[in-house]
């Protein structure tokens, strides 16, 4: 190899002065490599390639970038993956549900597939992306910047009932609390920044809060709704066997119970399908990121499940 893929950066929560300081530490890296168990020249599909942290470790084992396909819907992530492209990898700017449909239409199959769901630390850390309630920025939250609709459209234009449903369904807030938040939002409109939204929600909360900010679940809910995140996971799950070569492995890392519930159910269905099962589970129980890296806040809620195609 003549060129090295980009260096990873370290995580820093309090000081972001330029892009080179943004960090993304791949979660559960050792476990992912152990269970995907890459062999020389095997094909690899990374459906959420991000900053290429996992991909870099896989490449070190397979030694062949031209056998890698790296997908991400975020333009900034795609730019970071340029050095993989220079090495011969296929880098695709797309959402993975759409990519999967076209891969299957083209009868493409892979030895390894990785899906590391959710947002990356650099997405959260950049205030202007509007993902984080701790950083004041516009209400954006788009994973794909080509999309027109932003979080501001939902916050300012959805009816109170629809907002309540979103907060209940994707934020898993109890109905009474979701209703109170939805009402406060509609009364405070227009809301243009993450800070104002966080404060409006905070004001609906009586008493002091412990660790988690009262707006955390609503932010998650709006992000999931805006980016159709669960529909993406559902399309993935329906198509896993068609994406894998016989003996091919898939690893899925999820970060919240809504995603993991879908993945867990799919894995359980496979485990209980008897002779009709297309996959064998390599993780009988999920592997949790808690113990992985105490310095990486994302790792704390990571849930890894891995299976192999028969």
Ligand X SMILES: C[S@@+](CC[C@H](N)C(=O)[O-])C[C@H]1O[C@@H](n2cnc3c(N)ncnc32)[C@H](O)[C@@H]1O
In the complex, the residues that contact ligand X under the rule CB under 6 A are: 24, 26, 48, 50-54, 71-74, 77, 95-96, 116, 118, 120, 143, 232
The residue among 77 and 244 lying less far from ligand X, judged by its C-beta, is 77
CA torsion through residues 177, 183, 162, 260, sign? negative
Query: Whole-number minimum distance, CB 49 to ligand X, in Å?
Result: 6
Query: Whole-number minimum distance, CB 73 to ligand X, in Å?
Result: 4
Enter the tokens of residue 12: 């820093």
Enter the tokens of residue 155: 């916050």
Closest to 116 (Cα-Cα) out of 307, 308, 298? 298
The residue among 71 and 158 lying less far from ligand X, judged by its C-beta, is 71
The residue among 143 and 221 lying less far from ligand X, judged by its C-beta, is 143
Q: How is 80-110 classified by DSSP, letter by letter?
A: HTHHHHHTT-EEEES-HHHHHHHHHHTT--E
The residue among 130 and 214 lying less far from ligand X, judged by its C-beta, is 130
CA distance 72 to 23: 17
Say if residues 50 and 116 touch (Cβ distance below 8 Å). yes
Query: Whole-number minimum distance, CB 260 to ligand X, in Å?
Result: 14
Query: Whole-number minimum distance, CB 110 to ligand X, in Å?
Result: 16
Query: Whole-number minimum distance, CB 8 to ligand X, in Å?
Result: 8
The residue among 92 and 184 lying less far from ligand X, judged by its C-beta, is 92
Look at the block and give the residue holding tokens 């669960």. 230
CA distance 124 to 131: 5
């Amino acid at each position: 190899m003549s060129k090295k893929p980009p260096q990873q950066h370290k995580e820093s929560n309090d000081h972001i002065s330029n892009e080179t300081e943004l960090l993304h530490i791949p979660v559960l890296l050792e476990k992912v490599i152990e269970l995907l168990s890459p062999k020389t020249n095997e094909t690899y599909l990374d459906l959420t390639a991000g900053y290429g942290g996992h991909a870099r470790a896989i490449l070190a084992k397979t030694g062949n970038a031209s056998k890698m396909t790296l997908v991400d819907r975020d333009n900034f992530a795609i730019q970071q993956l340029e050095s993989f492209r220079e090495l011969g990898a296929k880098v695709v700017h797309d959402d993975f549900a759409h990519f999967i449909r076209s891969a299957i239409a083209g009868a493409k199959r892979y030895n390894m597939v990785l899906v590391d769901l959710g947002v990356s630390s650099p997405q959260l850390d950049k205030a202007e992306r509007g993902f984080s309630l701790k950083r004041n920025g516009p209400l954006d939250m788009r994973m794909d910047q080509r999309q027109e609709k932003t979080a501001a459209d939902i916050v300012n234009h959805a009816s109170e009932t629809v907002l309540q449903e979103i907060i209940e369904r994707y934020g898993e807030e109890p109905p009474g609390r979701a209703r109170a938040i939805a009402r406060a939002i509609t009364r405070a409109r227009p809301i243009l920044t993450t800070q104002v939204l966080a404060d409006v929600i905070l004001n609906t909360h009586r008493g002091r809060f412990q660790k988690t900010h009262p707006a955390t679940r609503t932010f998650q809910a709006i992000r999931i709704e805006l980016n159709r995140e669960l529909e993406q996971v559902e399309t993935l799950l329906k198509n896993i066997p068609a994406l894998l070569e016989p003996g091919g492995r898939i690893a899925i890392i999820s970060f919240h119970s809504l995603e993991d519930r879908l993945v867990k159910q799919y894995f359980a269905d496979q485990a209980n399908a008897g002779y009709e099962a297309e996959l064998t589970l390599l993780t009988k129980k999920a592997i949790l990121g808690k113990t992985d890296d105490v310095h990486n806040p994302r790792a704390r809620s990571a849930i890894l499940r891995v299976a192999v195609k028969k």
